[in-house]
Structure 1
Amino acid sequence: MTNVDPNPRPGGGATEQDVAPHPSPSHAAPEPVADAYASPVPVANAALVGVPTFLVGSIALGLNLVDYVPQGIVGAPIAIIAMATGLGQVIATIFALKAGESAVASVFGIFGGFWLSYAALVLGILHNWFGFTTPPAGASASQAASAAVTAIDDSVKTFLLAWLILIVILTLASIRLPAAFTLLFALVDVALLFVYLAYHNASAGVPDSGQLKTGGVFVFAFVAVGAYLFFDAMFAATGGKNLPLGRPVLK
């Protein structure tokens, strides 16, 4: 049966549309057939950006803490920490948010804040951005120097303690993640604790060298765990199997 226009157009005959048959299931376009040999669509993984940039800053800081680079040269790792690690964590955070990975974005966002604020603290101390070395009115030279040392020491301790508390919270919040992540965060906690104690026990503004070195050892310990996590992410991204990451502390 054909469609017939009850109001024929001037000039007579029906148009091509007027006589087009009704579509039937037999005329439907065939559904596309999946190609069994097609490559799978890759799944974005923010860890492939976030973890290695985290590691390089940690390695630079660890070398400073263990005195491979003299501990007094606090600005030595800052170029890496600010422009590779801090920036890399921000990129990974955005990456994870776009992929809908909120928990991953939270982790990278937290560490991005840590590394960028650490760089700001060190640069601020070195360039007196925060008025650490501004002498009080009427103070002698020795009093001004002592006040500057105290201000710097108190600022560093505030920085370390605040971040130690937050990373402990992150560690406790991570107990539903595979155990490797909780171990990583716990090692970061211990490293921060020893660096905090080094400044808490400072003598004449000089932090305890032994405790800084102990903190550096724990930095390299969490670098090792982070490297394992990077291998896991890279193996999975290149078609291999995931590495075992351990059972969560709390299911």
Structure 2
Amino acid sequence: MSSDRRELMTTTEIPSQTSNGHKVAVEKTETAPTEVPTSLSANPALLGYPAFAIGALSLALFLTGFNQTTIPSTLAGGLPIMIVASGLLLIVASIWAIKRNDGVQAAIFGLFGAFWLSFTVLIVGLLDNWFGKLPEPAQRGANANFLLVWFVLMLAMTFATLRLPKAITLLFVLVDFSLITLFSAVSIARPGAGGDPFILHPGIAALFIMPFLGLYLFMSATNAALGGKSFPMGKPFIKR
């Protein structure tokens, strides 16, 4: 008997025309109300991808010095977004995915959330001397090490997503490209510079593309949740 539709068997006494008026037990079938399945609208992507997109856009604006007068004033606008809108909401999306037994989305959103939270700890810690009063070369080295470690992890995640739609894999490719270019720019920059501009600018360009792809994934999930079809995502590189 299916879980979404069940039949209740009841016994009702009704007169029979073939039994001289005697009442006989006849089984009568009644249909129970249809059970409502788990809603397809309960998709962690509805929260995870916009949270990722706004964090990537905020970081890209920070690196370009948009409306920048001093570094602390620029971070005052970007860090709250990275901490709350990106870091915490991505962790919530990861927990949401765990509740739905969706380990892949839980890993994706959880790792992205951990990146934004750890990035804010790094930046604020360096500015406020949480790790000691480090000279400028040591601070650049800390930034470079941070970017390299996350690049290695995200590269592994990129290969792990080859069985997912191409749009998701492309998102990780953009993340990989931005991380390795930012790492290279910081590593070879001259003292006092934020990064080598010839390498830094392509990485920033990738950061500006990521929010649009993240919002595309968000709108696709929203359209599907409202009864429509998902947007084209591309077939996986490796078929299941």
TM bucket by the smaller chain? Answer: 0.7 to 0.9
Given the alignment of the two structures, is residue 177 of structure 1 paired with residue 175 of structure 2, yes or no? no
Report the Cα distance in structure 2 between the residues aligned to 1:174 and 1:157, rounded to whole angstroms: 26
Match of 1:162 among 128, 138, 149: 149
C-alpha contact (below 8 Å) 1:179/1:246 kept by paired residues: yes
Where in structure 2 are the equivalents of 1:210-225 lying within 5 Å?
A: 210=197, 211-225=199-213
Kindly tell me: are residues 33 and 88 of structure 1, through their superposed partners in 2, closer, same or farther at Cα, counting changes over 3 Å? closer
Gaps of 5+ in 2: 1-23
What residue is the counterpart of 1:75 in the other structure?
Answer: 75
* Residue of structure 2 equivalent to 1:63: 61
**Corresponding residue for residue 48 of structure 1:** 46
| 2:94 equivalent in structure 1 | 93
- Cα RMSD (Å) of the superposition? 2.4
Is the CA contact (8 Å cut-off) linking 1:67 and 1:213 kept in structure 2? no
Is 2:85 aligned against 1:84? yes
Residue 25 to residue 99, structure 1, CA distance change in 2 (3 Å) = farther
Structure (1 or 2) with the larger CA radius of gyration: 1
TM-score in terms of structure 1 length: 0.78
> 1:93-120 CA distances to partner (integer Å, 9 max, x unpaired)?
0000001110000001111111100010
Look up the match of 1:201. Answer: 188
* Deviation digits for residues 156-179 of structure 1 (CA, Å, limit 9, x no counterpart): 111000001111110011100000
- Asked whether the equivalents of residues 65 and 213 of structure 1 are also in contact (C-alpha less than 8 Å), the reply is no
Cα pair distance change 1:72/1:202, threshold 3 Å: farther
**CA–CA separation in structure 1 for the residues paired with 2:150 and 2:94:** 18
1:170-210 Cα offsets, whole Å, 9 max, x none, are: 00111000000000100111111121111111211422252
Q: Which amino acid aligns with 1:96?
A: A
Residue identity opposite 1:42 in structure 2:
S
Identity %: 37
Match of 1:3 in 2: none
CA displacement at 1:30 relative to structure 2: 3.1
Aligned residue pairs: how many? 212
> In the alignment, is the contact (CA less than 8 A) between 1:57 and 1:81 conserved in 2?
yes
Q: Is the 8 A contact 1:157 1:200 kept in 2?
A: yes
Deviations 1:32-89 (A, max 9, x none): 0439xxx875221001011111111111111112232449626241111011100011
Distance in 2 of aligned mates of 1:248 and 1:169: 17
TM-score by length of 2: 0.81
Matches of 1:98 and 1:115, distance apart in 2: 22
Q: Could you tell me which residue of structure 1 aligns to residue 30 of structure 2?
A: 30
| Counterparts in 2 of 1:238 and 1:81: CA distance versus 1, 3 Å | same
> In the alignment, what sits opposite 1:129?
130
Structure 1: segments with no counterpart, 5+ residues:
1-23, 134-147
- CA, structure 1 residues 193+25, in 2 after alignment: closer, same or farther (shift >3 Å)? farther
Contact kept in structure 1, 2:62 and 2:75, CA below 8 Å: no
Task: Identify the structure with the greater strand proportion.
Answer: 2
Q: Is the CA contact 1:59–1:219 (under 8 Å) kept in the aligned structure 2?
A: yes
1-structure distance, mates of 2:56, 2:32? 50
Matched, 1:235 2:210: no
Distance of 1:168 and 1:191 partners within structure 2: 11
2:64 and 2:51 map into 1 onto residues whose CA distance is 20
